[in-house]
Amino acid sequence: LVGAKYRLYDRVIAISMAIRDVLVGQGVDPETVHCVWSALDPTPFQEPCIREVFHREMGLPPQAPVVGMAAQFIQRKGHDVLLQALPGVLRLHPDARILLFGQGPLREEMVRRARDAGLEDSVHFPGFRDDLPSLLPCLDLLVHPATMEGLGVILLQAGAAGIPVVAAAAGGVPEAVVDEETGLLVPPDDPHALADAVNDLLENPERARSMGEAARRRV
């Protein structure tokens, strides 16, 4: 079906090599499929963070490390994997706060699961925000545990903001995040590996800062 549909076109543009490989694997002529990676203007993400204002607006303790995730609340984005990982993070970093930006059909379920797990003091749900360019620079790191992803524009946005990423190596994510250079990649659907990687960057802020700078240069 995919191969038949795309035969109608002289050229097909994929936003990652991972998507190109899927299309070719489903019968699209490889001569017609070209990869043009998603891109963005990094300028809006490079304003400095006013941390005191950010923490006050988000209702966070002044010195709390802040881990963010910004994604639609749907199954493939991996919110459940992050919630499973958080006890392992909070054991070592009990003062950390996790901000889950976004909306979607699974949001209320994730709110309930966080509450049932006793995480309601650590996990916050600010909802959909259209001011991410001013919010991302205030994070200590971004987490993206998606189990399926074409590329992940939020990863580019975090990089533009100079924020390191911990992400699942799914789909096109390894094209957006260079492991051990601009962030850390972990196996998809692996809460223990995710917790270990988050702990690694929270325990090594200089390493995290260096990765964020590398991510900004790459974006």
Angle at CA of residue 64, ends 114 and 100, nearest 5°: 35
Q: Can you tell me the distance from the alpha carbon of 181 to that of 219, in angstroms, rounded to the nearest whole number?
A: 13
Q: What string of pLDDT tens digits covers the 219 residues of the chain?
A: 777 788 889 999 999 999 999 999 999 999 999 999 999 999 999 999 989 999 999 999 998 999 999 999 999 999 999 999 999 999 999 999 999 999 999 999 999 999 999 999 999 999 999 999 999 999 999 999 999 999 999 999 999 999 999 999 999 999 999 999 999 999 999 999 999 999 999 999 999 999 999 999 999
> In the block, which residue shows the tokens 């097909």?
12
What residue type is assigned to position 105 of the chain? P
The Cα 143–Cα 81 span in angstroms is 11
Does residue 67 sit in helix, strand or coil? strand
DSSP state of 183: E
Phi and psi for 191 in degrees, rounded to 5? -60, -35
Structure tokens at 194: 């995710």
Q: Rounded to an integer, what distance in angstroms lies between the CA atom of residue 188 and that of residue 78?
A: 9
DSSP 8-state code for residue 186: E
Q: pTM score > 0.85 for this model?
A: yes
